[in-house]
Amino acid sequence: MNPIRNSGRLSLSLTIFFAIGFANSIGAHHPPTNPGGRVLGDSTTAPRDQVVLSLDYLKGDRENRDVWTANAAGELVFFEGRLGLGLQIPYQYFEQRDRDDAARFSRPRLGLRLQPWPELEAGGGSFYLIGDLDLGFATGSDRGRFVDENFYDSNAGLTLGYAIEGWIFTLRGGGIFPLTRLPKAEVADTPGITRLPWEPVEETNTRDTHELKKVSEWRLRAGYRITESFLGFAGFLYRRPYAGVIKERATGDDVPQIYREVEAGIVYQLSDSVSITGTYRQPLFRKRENSGVDEVWYLLQGRTPPNSARHKLYTESYTVAVSFLF
């Protein structure tokens, strides 16, 4: 066994897998309710000087639409590569079936990630630990240019990874923490928009209709280096509560408590500094059956029995991302 050659393969595998984490962290966002909170500092990411451009397609969003998200993100490292400072700016296009299409900026996020020590050799492989913390900015009241997420939150977590003989395994535990409250409902119409007296005011996420919840997440990923340039990976996401940080007061109690999602993808290392990542994601969904007694109880309260299908966040998602190391 050639230790120098194996060390090079391990380094290449880690480089590719780090690119997966950063590309997926900015490319997979559930708009506009942000249940996933997948942002800078997602699993497997390590501080690197890099720029990532991604395009995400979310099919069958629960608002009866499909969503395209273009994302630009960059990161600069300091202190010999131990600390990274990153920024991401997403832009979303909504293909809506029952109304006009729309395009909006989503919330920018500013993040830090820390690798406190180099990989630790053990059992023929290496362990590494990554900490992450970010800030999601409020979008303000301009609904003509920004999605309706007018609050601040933070995503924080720890990732433990292990790499050996072409295999890489990562486990991230973390959460999303609201830092502010949703705004109060406005009595007047949205500033800058003139409506006729009989036209309704545009619906928004306010503290009267929604509330912000703390979110806990666990993400497991496994990757295998197929060749010197290709790496395949698969992952599983567990999140509680189901819909993420924003909970709708009217129907929130009818929504399942736990959200699960699987993913699979492949990375092609085009060169030492450029990689292309393709990812497919699908939620795991268990249909809720209502008994006859449940249905009668809902009707006696003047409520409609919950239709579990309407709580499905989306049908499937595809992401393509290009990562540039410099």
pLDDT tens profile 117-163 = 888 888 788 898 999 999 999 988 787 888 888 899 999 999 998 98
SS3 content of the chain, % helix, strand, coil (to 5): 15, 45, 40
Q: Count of H helices and E strands in the chain?
A: 2, 16
- pLDDT at residue number 197: 47
Give the Å distances, CA to CA, from 184 to 92, 147, 176, 223.
25, 17, 22, 45
Instruction: Give 76-120 pLDDT, tens digit per residue.
Output: 999 988 999 999 999 999 998 877 888 999 999 999 999 998 888
Give the Å distances, CA to CA, from 87 to 74, 146, 236.
6, 17, 25
Regarding predicted confidence, which is higher, 285 or 86?
86
- pLDDT at residue number 187: 47
Q: Which two tokens stand for residue 158?
A: 């720890």
Domain annotation for the chain: domains and CATH numbers: 3-181+213-325 (2.40.160.40)
From CA 118, how far away is CA 115, in angstroms rounded? 7
Q: Is residue 64 over pLDDT 90?
A: no
